[in-house]
Structure 1
Amino acid sequence: MRWLFFTLIICLISVKGSGQSNIAQKIAFNHLANPTTNLFVHFDKNIYSNNETVYFTAYILKTEKFHLNAHKILAVALVRDVDSALVKSDKFLIQNGLAFGNMLIPDSVVTGNYQLLAYTDKLVNGKPELIFKQPITIKTNIELPFRANIKLVENPSISNKENQVLISVTTNDYKFLSKPVSVNYKYGTVQKTAKTDAAGQLLLTIPKQQNLVDPNISVKLKYQKDSSFLSMPLPTGKITANVKFFPEGGNLVTNIISTVAWEVTDLQKRPIALKAFLFKNNFPIDTIETNSYGIGKFKLLADENAVYTVKLANNSLADTVYKLPKVLSSGLVINIENAVVEDTLSLILRNHKSQKFFIRIHNFKQCFLDIPFDMEMKIRKLKIPLAEIPKGLNTITITDSLDRPLAERLFFAHYNNKDLIYTNTDKNTYHQREQVSLTLDSKELPETAIVSIAVVQENRLTLRNSNDIESYTYIRNQLENMPSNGKTSIYKDRDYLEQILSVKGWRRYTWQQTQDIKPSDTLKNIDSLQITGIVKKNKKPLTAAINLATFGDSNIRVIETSMEGKFDFSTPDLITEYGKKMHLFVNATNKESYNIEINDAFEKASKDLSKTEASLIPTVPLNLTNNSDLVLKNNEKAIQLKEVTIKKTVDRPRFHYAKGGFGANSCGDYVCMYDILNCTNHANDPGNSQPIAGVTYKGSNGPYQECKTYTEEDKSFVAFSGIRYHKEFYLHDYKDPLEPAFFSTIYWNHGTILQPKKETALTFYTSDITGMFKVIIQGITKDDVIYTEQKFEVKQKGQIN
C-alpha cells in the first residue's frame, strides 16, 4: 500500500472562521473556570520521627495566570490519616512565589501515616486557590510502651466466610502486662471495642465483606496513657476487578485496524497483572495480558456485527467476562505509535471515506493549532512540528465540520529527561562524621535557577510517599489515579509514560464539558484568609478607638482599633521567629478592664481541609502488623532514657554559659547542652535549660531579652501563632565525640541560586548513621522545573576498602 506523507507547518496556518474562534474562546473560558493547581512543596524527606524537624521549600509554579503578590501566606498542617485529625499547623511568609519554613514534629504524636497539607491564603469561592498534599510516615525514636502485633490465624482462603484475627500485646521484654489492653477496631461497616485477656491476646472473628473500598482492619490499642495503631488488609474472597478498554482515539470502527489499550485494577486502583482471552462472538481469537502496571495493548480488526469480550484468567476475581465498546459502522481511527515525543508528533489517520476534519492541538487551557484538513484518502500519515506547543501534556482532538469530536489522544510534547544539573561528591563512600564535598555542575542549565537541596538517609524516603517536582508538575497534577511505577521519578520513566498516556484521559474536564462552558462559569468570588480581632471593655463594644501593641521579636508595633474595637493585621505585623508566639496587649491605662479576642481564619481552614482535602487520598492496603515497624533502628537513634521527675536539687554539669531551670521557659525558649539557643537538633531534649536574660548564647543575635509572663486571667494580653520566618538549618561538624549525632537529614538548603554554566561547591558532614544517603535537588527556572538526585554511602570506620 502506498503511503502519502504530510507535514503540517504550524507557523503557516491561521485559525479559520468564527467557529474555530469560538472553540478557542471556550477553551480559554475553561482555563479560567478550571485552573490547574500550581503549588509544589519540597519536603526534605517523607519519613520522620517524634521531635524531628521538617524542612521545606514551597514553589508557586506556572505563574502566567496567577498574581504572585496575591499569595502572601503559606499554611502547613499536619493531619493524621486514620481519623483526619488536625495535629498541628503553622504559617509562613511567601515572597515572590517562594516560601521557606520548618515544622517540629511534636513529641506526643502517635506513630503512623500522616499528611502535610499546604495551602495559601488566597481564596476562590471560599476555598484556598492553591493546595498541595504530601503523605508522610511518622516513626518513633524511643522504645514503645508495649509490643503489639496482629495476624491471621488461618491461611487466606476464598471459601472461608470469616477471618480469624489474633491480636497479641506484651511488654517490651515479652512479658504479660499487668492490665488488659483496650482494643478498638474498625473493618468496613463494623466498629467495635474489646479487651485483651490475661495473656494479652484477643481473638476476633470477622465476617468477610465484599468489594470494600478500604480493605484494612484498623486497630487502636490503648494501655493506660499510651496508644498504638495496627492495620492489615483482610482477605475478602473473590473481588470485582475494574476493567476498562481504550480504543486509541476513542472508538472501534468496522474493518479498520485499531490499537486497544486496556487496564485492570482493584477497588483501591492498584494494578492487576494477569492473562486473558479475547473472544469474538464467544469464540476465542487471541490471548492478551496486562503488565505490572495493570496495562496491556492488542490490535483488533473489528467487525460491526460482532460482539467482542475479554475473559480474565484469574480465579480470585468474581467477574471475569467484560465486553468491549460497540463497533461503529463508520468513523475515524487515530494511531500514535509514540505519544512521548520531543519536537515532532507522528500519527496515522484511517477512515472509510473522504471527509473534511478540523485538527486541533490544545491543553484545554489554550488552543495552539486549529486547522481544516481534507481526508481525501482512507489512510493519511501526518507529521506535526511542535515548535509552538508548550512542554507537557497536550491533546490532539479531531472534529467534524460541526465540531463533534471524532478522535482524541493525549501526548507529551518536548519530553527531555536529561538532567539540567549534575551532582558530584568527592567520594562514593565516607566514614561517620566525615566531611563531604558536593559539586553542582550547571553546564546544561539554560538560565538562572533557584533550588532546594536535601541530603537525607535513603530509608527515610519511601516509594509510597514519593513525589518530585517534575512528576508532579507534568504528570501527577494533570492525571488521576496514577499507579506507582516502582521508581522514584515517574517523569524520568519514558516507557511508563507511554503506557499511562494510552489509558489515561484529562482529569478535570473533557471536550464535551469544554463545549458546554459559559462565560458566567468563569465568575469567581475572590477573598483571602486573615487574622482579625476585637477589643471589648467590660465585655461591651468600645465607643472609641484604642491602641494595641504587638511583638514577636525585639520590635514592638502599634495597631489602632476601629471605633467599635475591631482590628486586623497586615503581614509585617505578624512575622516572628520560628517557635515564638506573637503577643498582643492593650496599650492604655486601666488595661485589666479590656478583653482581646483573636480570630485566626487559618485555624478554621486547616480543620476544614483536614476533613475534606486530606480524606481524598486513595485508600491503600497498609501492612502495619507489628507496632515495632514504626520504631527507628538502633543505629539510627541515640539511647533514650525514661522520663523521671526530679524532686530535689541535683548537681548540674558546669557550662561556659549561664543557664536557668530545666526545660523551656513560658516563651518557649531553651538552651541545649551545647549552649545553642533554641537548637532545632535538640528540641524537647531532657537536658535543655532555660535561658537567662542578658546572656548571649550561640545562635542568638545578642543578649537574651527577658521573657515576660502573664496570667491566663489577664485578657488584655494574648499570645497567638503568627507568621513564621524560616529557621536556618544548623550545620554541625560533630567534633565533640560525646554528642550523639543521629541525624537523618545531614544537609538542607532552602534557596540556592545556580547560575548557568557554573559550578557550585557545598560542604557538610556525615552523622553517626550508617548506610545509603541520597542527595535530592529540586527547584525552578523561569520556564521549567528541575529534579536530580545522587547516592553515596556512609560506613563505620575500618569498613571502607
Structure 2
Amino acid sequence: MKTLASWLLSLLLFTFHSNAQQLKQIVETISEKFINYSKSHADAALFLHTNKSIFQAGESIWATAYLLNIELEDSLKYNTLMLCLVDPVIKKSFAPQKFAIINGIAQVGLTIPDTLPSGDYVLTAYTNAYAEGKHEKIFKQVVTIRSNTTTFRKTITGTDKKLTAHTYEKEGYKVALAQPKGEDSIITAINIPGSPQNILLCYHDLKKSLEVLAVQMKNTFGQLKIANTGLRPGLQKIELLNTDQKILSDTLFWKEPETIKVKLEIDSAIHSLRSNCHCRISIQDASGKPISAMFSISCSLSKTILPTLPDIRKYYYFEQFLPPSFQIPFYWDYQTTIDSINTLQGIGNWIEADTIAEKSTPFTPITGQVFQNGRKPKRPVSILLLGGTTPVNFQTDNTGSFSISSDMIRSINTSFYVTISGGDNLESYEIQLNSSTDTLNDQIASQPFIFPIPPGNSPPQLYNMPVMEDKTITLKAVTVKSAPNSADFNFGVPFFDKDCNAYVCNHDVWMCTANPVSLHTLTKPIPGKKYFDPKTNTYILYKGCPQDYEPPKFMKSISPIWYAAQFHAPDYRQEKITIPQTNTTIYWNHLMRNNDDGKASFNFYTNDLPGIYKCVIQGITDKGPFCVTKTFEVVK
C-alpha cells in the first residue's frame, strides 16, 4: 500500500516523520484494517440497465447487468447473477431466475409470470459474491406490472426521507479541503485544539483504495498540499485520526471525472408506422479523441419509462455507497448530491471494524440428498444430470449428499433434470433438492424497502400503465381495436402439448407455418404464455407438456442458469407479418461496442403503436460510465 510521502509537494507548519517507528506501525495497522474490510466486501458494484419501468404480466424484462469498479481479470470470480421480483407489502419473492455472468456482463431476459397480480414490485439482483458471504450491495429497482386479470394495487408508498448533511467533528478538530482549479491536487486545512500532536491523515475512495500520511503538528493550524493522483475519480473522503486510530474529523470531496462526450443521433424526429429508424452514436473525450465503450440500448414507449429508471452515472458515483434505504433524488447534479450525503462516516466504520477474514466458500446453486426407502444410503449412489449437450454422470458421497456447480447447468433454452442412474427398484429412491438462492431470496424479500417520492410529488398516474388511445389499427383487412390500459391482447384458447413437440418462432408466433422456418430462431414455448397461431389467426395460451410437470420422486427438475435469448425485433422487409405489432419496447440490444473511431450505428423498425418513444443508452468506458437519451415520435 503506497503512502502519500512521495506526493508531498509543499508543507507549511508540519514536520513529516517517515522514520518514526511508532507512526509507521500505526500506518501499517490502518492499511491492514482497510484491506481486510475491502476483502470482506465485494469488489464490484452491480448495476442493471432495464428496457423500461412498466410491464405487462407475461412480458419479458430485458436487462444488461454491469459489474462496476472491477478489472477484467478480477471479474472471473463473478459467474452467476440472481434475480427475483419482490412484493414489498407481503414480503414475498416471485419469478426467481439465474443468468450467467461472462467477463463482468450478464444478459437478462426475465419472463414475468402471467399469474402475477398487478402492482408495484422491486426487481432485485445480486451475484454469487453475495451468496458466498461478501457484503455486496443488492441492486433494487421499482417496476410496475399490469395484469389483464387483476386490479392494479399500488404497493410502493413514497417517503421524503433524505440524507442529511453531516460532517464528523470532535472537540474542535476539523479538516477542510480546497481544490486548486486546473490542478490534480487538494489543499488540506487542519485545525486541532490544545497543543500540537501527532495525527494521521487518511483519504480513500470509499471502496478499496486508501492512502495514509502520518504528520506532526507544530501548531494548532496548518495547510498541506498533496497530489491527488492515486485514487479513482468521483466521491472521495478524508479522515483525520489520532494515534489511537479514532476519527477526529472527516469530510467528503469530489474528484472530477474526465469528460465523456456522447452524441446520439436519430435520422428523423418523426417516423411513421413500421418505418426504419437509423441511429448513430459517437463517444469521445474532452479533446475529441475516440473512447472505447461497451453499452446497452433500449427504445421503448416513453410513458413506460418512469423517473425511477436507474442512471448508471448516479449509481456508480454515489448510490453504490449509500445505505439500502436511501437513494439520490431523481433530478440531481454532482455538487448538490455531494452536499447531501455527508452521512458516510469511515466507509461503514471500517476503522472500528475487527479484522475480517476473506470468505472463500464457492457458490453452489444446487445441493441435494438421496434417500432410499426413506433413509440416507450408506454408500455412494450414481446420479445422472440430463439437459446439457451430453449427460453428466457423478456420484453422491457415502451418505447420499451431492452438489451441482454453476457451470454444469448453464443453458440457452433447455431445462435440466437430475435422476438416479441405473439400478433396480428406482421407485425406492427419492431425491430432495435445496436451492441456496431460494433462502436468500426469502431473506431479501423480508428486508424493509423505502422509496423516495418522485420529483414534485408526481401524481399516481406515473405508476400506471400508459393509457392507449382508443383507435382502430387496420392492416391488410385485419382490424384490431386497442383496449385502454393495455398494449396486449386477451388470452386465447388453452393448449396442452401432449407430445412436447411444439416450438415458437420470432415474435411469439406459434410453429410459424406461415413463414419460412429458416428466417426464425426456434425456442421452446413457456407454460402460461400466449402465442399467435397463424393457422387459426387467433391466440392460444400454452399450458405446457408432460415434461413441464413434476417428475417421479427419483427424478427432479432443475432451473438452469440462463444465457439470455436475444430480443427479436421484426424486419418488415424480410417477414410478412399481418397481425398488429404493439409491443411497447421496439428495440433492445444487450451489448454493443463502438469502433476505433468511437462510433457505432444501429437500426430498427417502429411497429403499429403510435406515440413518443425514448431511446436510452447506458454503458461503461475506461474513463467512467455514461448515459444518453433521445426521443422521437411515431405517427400513423
Q: Normalising to structure 1: TM-score of the pair?
A: 0.62
Letter of the aligned partner of 1:250 in structure 2? Answer: E
- 5 Å-filtered alignment, 1:158-557, equals 226=150, 228-230=152-154, 246=166, 250=169, 331-336=172-177, 343-349=184-190, 355=196, 357-363=199-205, 365-372=208-215, 374=217, 376=219, 382-399=224-241, 405-416=247-258, 418-444=259-285, 448-463=292-307, 465-480=308-323, 482=326, 484-487=328-331, 490=332, 493-501=333-341, 503-506=342-345, 508-510=347-349, 514=351, 516-519=352-355, 521-522=356-357, 524=359, 526-542=361-377, 545=380, 547-552=382-387, 555-557=390-392
Query: How many Å separate the matches in 1 of 2:370 and 2:582?
Result: 48
Among 102, 107, 110, the alignment partner of 2:117 is: 110
Query: How many Å separate the matches in 1 of 2:91 and 2:499?
Result: 32
Among 30, 48, 51, the alignment partner of 2:55 is: 48
Query: How many Å separate the matches in 2 of 1:105 and 1:338?
Result: 49
Which residue in the other structure is 1:743 paired with? 583
Letter of the aligned partner of 2:529 in structure 1? Answer: N
Deviation of 1:478 after TM superposition, in Å, equals 1.2
Query: How many Å separate the matches in 1 of 2:239 and 2:463?
Result: 50
Q: Normalising to structure 2: TM-score of the pair?
A: 0.77
- Residue 608 in structure 1 maps to residue 419 in structure 2: no
Deviation of 1:250 after TM superposition, in Å, equals 2.5
Decide whether aligned partners of structure 1 residues 483 and 123 sit closer, same or farther in structure 2, where only a CA change above 3 A counts: closer
Letter of the aligned partner of 1:466 in structure 2? Answer: L
Decide whether aligned partners of structure 1 residues 566 and 423 sit closer, same or farther in structure 2, where only a CA change above 3 A counts: same
- Per-residue deviation, residues 333-390 of structure 1 (Å, max 9, x unmatched): 4444679997232455556777355433234644324142646585x55543312232
CA contact (8 A) 1:8 1:385 kept: no
Decide whether aligned partners of structure 1 residues 619 and 391 sit closer, same or farther in structure 2, where only a CA change above 3 A counts: closer
Query: How many Å separate the matches in 1 of 2:157 and 2:236?
Result: 38
Letter of the aligned partner of 2:417 in structure 1? Answer: H
Q: Secondary structure at the match of 1:497?
A: helix
Which residue in the other structure is 1:792 paired with? 631
Query: How many Å separate the matches in 2 of 1:65 and 1:644?
Result: 47
Decide whether aligned partners of structure 1 residues 664 and 767 sit closer, same or farther in structure 2, where only a CA change above 3 A counts: farther
- Residue 571 in structure 1 maps to residue 399 in structure 2: no
64-73 or 619-628, larger mean C-alpha shift: 619-628
- Per-residue deviation, residues 212-259 of structure 1 (Å, max 9, x unmatched): xxxxxxxxxxxxxx5652569799xxx9x999674x6626xxxxxxxx
- Per-residue deviation, residues 22-52 of structure 1 (Å, max 9, x unmatched): 3333333333345566222222222222111
Which residue in the other structure is 1:599 paired with? 433
Query: How many Å separate the matches in 1 of 2:527 and 2:271?
Result: 25
CA contact (8 A) 2:87 2:445 kept: no
- Residue 723 in structure 1 maps to residue 561 in structure 2: yes
Letter of the aligned partner of 2:97 in structure 1? Answer: D
The structure number with the bigger radius of gyration is 1
Higher relative contact order (CA 8 A, sep 6+): 2
Query: How many Å separate the matches in 1 of 2:340 and 2:27?
Result: 30
Alignment coverage as a number of residue pairs = 581
Letter of the aligned partner of 1:229 in structure 2? Answer: R
Decide whether aligned partners of structure 1 residues 666 and 609 sit closer, same or farther in structure 2, where only a CA change above 3 A counts: farther
Query: How many Å separate the matches in 1 of 2:579 and 2:75?
Result: 44
Which residue in the other structure is 2:473 paired with? none
CA contact (8 A) 1:41 1:132 kept: no
CA contact (8 A) 1:58 1:99 kept: yes
Query: How many Å separate the matches in 2 of 1:234 and 1:562?
Result: 52
Which residue in the other structure is 1:217 paired with? none
Which residue in the other structure is 1:759 paired with? 599
Query: How many Å separate the matches in 2 of 1:754 and 1:539?
Result: 59
Where in structure 1 are there 5+ consecutive unaligned residues? 1-6, 146-225, 252-327, 647-660, 691-705
Letter of the aligned partner of 1:60 in structure 2? Answer: L
Among 135, 138, 142, the alignment partner of 2:144 is: 138
Deviation of 1:8 after TM superposition, in Å, equals 9.6
CA contact (8 A) 1:662 1:688 kept: no
Query: How many Å separate the matches in 1 of 2:291 and 2:346?
Result: 32
Deviation of 1:60 after TM superposition, in Å, equals 2.5
Among 7, 10, 13, the alignment partner of 1:10 is: 7
Deviation of 1:728 after TM superposition, in Å, equals 0.9
Q: Secondary structure at the match of 1:509?
A: helix
Identity %: 18
- Per-residue deviation, residues 306-345 of structure 1 (Å, max 9, x unmatched): xxxxxxxxxxxxxxxxxxxxxx6xx344444679997232
Deviation of 1:105 after TM superposition, in Å, equals 0.8
Decide whether aligned partners of structure 1 residues 561 and 645 sit closer, same or farther in structure 2, where only a CA change above 3 A counts: same
Q: Secondary structure at the match of 2:340?
A: helix
Q: Secondary structure at the match of 1:793?
A: strand
Where in structure 2 are there 5+ consecutive unaligned residues? 10-15, 470-481, 514-519, 536-543
Deviation of 1:551 after TM superposition, in Å, equals 2.9
Query: How many Å separate the matches in 2 of 1:39 and 1:243?
Result: 22
Letter of the aligned partner of 2:303 in structure 1? Answer: N
Which residue in the other structure is 2:529 paired with? 684
Q: Secondary structure at the match of 1:634?
A: coil
Query: How many Å separate the matches in 2 of 1:242 and 1:761?
Result: 40
Query: How many Å separate the matches in 2 of 1:710 and 1:681?
Result: 9
Decide whether aligned partners of structure 1 residues 573 and 25 sit closer, same or farther in structure 2, where only a CA change above 3 A counts: closer
Q: Secondary structure at the match of 1:30?
A: helix
Query: How many Å separate the matches in 2 of 1:36 and 1:518?
Result: 19
Deviation of 1:582 after TM superposition, in Å, equals 1.4
Query: How many Å separate the matches in 1 of 2:462 and 2:239?
Result: 53
Query: How many Å separate the matches in 1 of 2:570 and 2:30?
Result: 59
Which residue in the other structure is 1:303 paired with? none
CA contact (8 A) 1:50 1:138 kept: no
- Per-residue deviation, residues 426-446 of structure 1 (Å, max 9, x unmatched): 223322322111222234377
CA contact (8 A) 2:497 2:545 kept: no
Letter of the aligned partner of 2:56 in structure 1? Answer: S
Which residue in the other structure is 2:479 paired with? none
- 5 Å-filtered alignment, 1:90-101, equals 90-101=97-108
Letter of the aligned partner of 1:368 in structure 2? Answer: E
Among 608, 619, 627, the alignment partner of 1:779 is: 619
CA contact (8 A) 2:123 2:143 kept: no
- 5 Å-filtered alignment, 1:603-682, equals 603-613=437-447, 615-618=448-451, 630-635=464-469, 643=491, 669-670=503-504, 672-673=509-510, 674-675=512-513, 677-678=522-523
- 5 Å-filtered alignment, 1:27-42, equals 27-33=34-40, 38-42=45-49
Q: Secondary structure at the match of 2:81?
A: strand
Decide whether aligned partners of structure 1 residues 430 and 738 sit closer, same or farther in structure 2, where only a CA change above 3 A counts: same
Query: How many Å separate the matches in 2 of 1:129 and 1:667?
Result: 45
RMSD: 4.4
Letter of the aligned partner of 1:51 in structure 2? Answer: G
